[in-house]
């Protein structure tokens, strides 16, 4: 029995890590993906949280597969607006990113699971994915919607001989509830990183910084983040 967490190092996936650690009794690994994101420093934060829980952390390299977009092109501008102000396809959308990241993790996890079967482990293994309600709202990210998750959960379960199940425990929660849940589980928020710009400190104005800030305020949890603005 084992679970792997798709761990960006932000608030949502780190909360997932703590949930998985709770539910899988510590038999958990964190997997971060380098897909060429400009804020790849988030993976260092992912490792900090794994270290805090004494869990293994690895980075999977998918550069060269994911197309160039605002998030993967260091020359593009990151807009200083809220998600709510974005109309149409978000400039922060990376084509089918979560489908690709989840598939890459499933290949790796199922490779381990097939080996474990030979050693007698017939348990269902898990993959934790921190998509949440605000990601899905108004189709902001199609690959975070309940519709996508339902389809992808089936594809993973069927495509691995029912060995691996996708867990999305934050699917129906907003950022406020996730900050509350993570705080309750003991997440050290200084070990998390959100900002798309990936500079020295959080910019405080990009869409994900705004969502982070507002999440702490709404939850009434002290925000330890240093913001540039």
Q: Which stretch binds a second copy (CB under 8 A): 93-101, 170-178, 179-187, 198-206?
A: 93-101
- Residue 169, both tokens: 């425990």
Q: How far apart are CA 56 and CA 30, in angstroms?
A: 6
Residues between 28 and 67 that touch a second copy (CB under 8 A): 60-62, 64-67
Q: Which stretch binds a second copy (CB under 8 A): 50-58, 74-82, 145-153, 199-207?
A: 145-153
* Contact between 8 and a second copy per CB under 8 A: no
* Contact between 168 and a second copy per CB under 8 A: no
CB of 108 or CB of 185, closer to a second copy: 108
Q: How far apart are CA 211 and CA 103, in angstroms?
A: 27
Three-class secondary structure of residue 227 per DSSP: strand
Radius of gyration of the chain (CA): 17
Task: Look at phi and psi of residue 162 and say left if phi exceeds 0, alpha if psi is from -120 to 50, else beta.
Answer: left
* Contact between 174 and a second copy per CB under 8 A: no
In the β-sheet with 3-6, what is the strand arrangement from edge to edge? 56-61, 28-34, 3-6, 125-128, 164-167
- What's the min distance (Å) between Cβ of 149 and a second copy? 9
CB of 60 or CB of 221, closer to a second copy: 60
Three-class secondary structure of residue 33 per DSSP: strand
Q: Which stretch binds a second copy (CB under 8 A): 2-10, 75-83, 136-144, 218-226?
A: 136-144
- Kind and range of the H or E element at 156? helix 146-159
* Contact between 123 and a second copy per CB under 8 A: no
Q: How far is CA 220 from CA 120, 177, 185, 217, in A?
A: 47, 11, 16, 5
CB of 53 or CB of 70, closer to a second copy: 70
Cβ distance 11 to 192 under 8 Å?
yes
* Contact between 151 and a second copy per CB under 8 A: yes
- What's the min distance (Å) between Cβ of 11 and a second copy? 23
* Contact between 89 and a second copy per CB under 8 A: yes
DSSP 202: B
Q: Which one among 22, 84, 85, 161 touches a second copy, defined by CB under 8 A?
A: 161
Q: How far apart are CA 68 and CA 77, in angstroms?
A: 13
Residues that bind a second copy (CB under 8 A): 60-62, 64-69, 89, 93-100, 102-104, 106-114, 117, 139, 142-143, 145, 147-148, 150-152, 154-156, 158-161
């Amino acid at each position: 029995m084992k679970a792997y967490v798709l761990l960006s190092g932000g608030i949502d996936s780190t909360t997932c890590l703590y949930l998985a650690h709770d539910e899988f009794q510590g038999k958990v690994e964190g997997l971060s993906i380098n897909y060429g994101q400009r804020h790849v420093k988030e993976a260092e934060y992912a490792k900090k949280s794994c270290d805090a829980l004494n869990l293994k952390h690895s980075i999977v390299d998918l550069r060269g597969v994911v197309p160039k977009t605002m998030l993967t092109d260091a020359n593009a501008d990151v807009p200083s607006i809220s998600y709510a102000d974005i109309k149409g396809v978000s400039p922060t959308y990376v084509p089918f990113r979560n489908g690709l990241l989840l598939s890459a993790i499933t290949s790796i996890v199922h490779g381990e699971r097939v080996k474990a079967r030979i050693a007698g482990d017939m348990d269902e293994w898990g993959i934790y994915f921190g998509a949440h309600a605000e990601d899905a709202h108004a189709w902001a990210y199609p690959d975070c919607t309940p519709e996508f998750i339902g389809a992808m959960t089936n594809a993973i379960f069927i495509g691995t001989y029912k060995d691996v199940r996708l867990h999305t425990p934050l699917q129906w929660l907003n950022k406020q509830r996730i900050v509350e849940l993570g705080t309750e589980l003991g997440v050290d928020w200084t070990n998390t990183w959100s900002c798309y710009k990936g500079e020295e400190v959080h910019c405080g104005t990009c869409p994900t910084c705004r969502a982070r800030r507002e999440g702490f305020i709404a939850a009434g949890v002290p925000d330890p983040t240093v913001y540039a603005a």
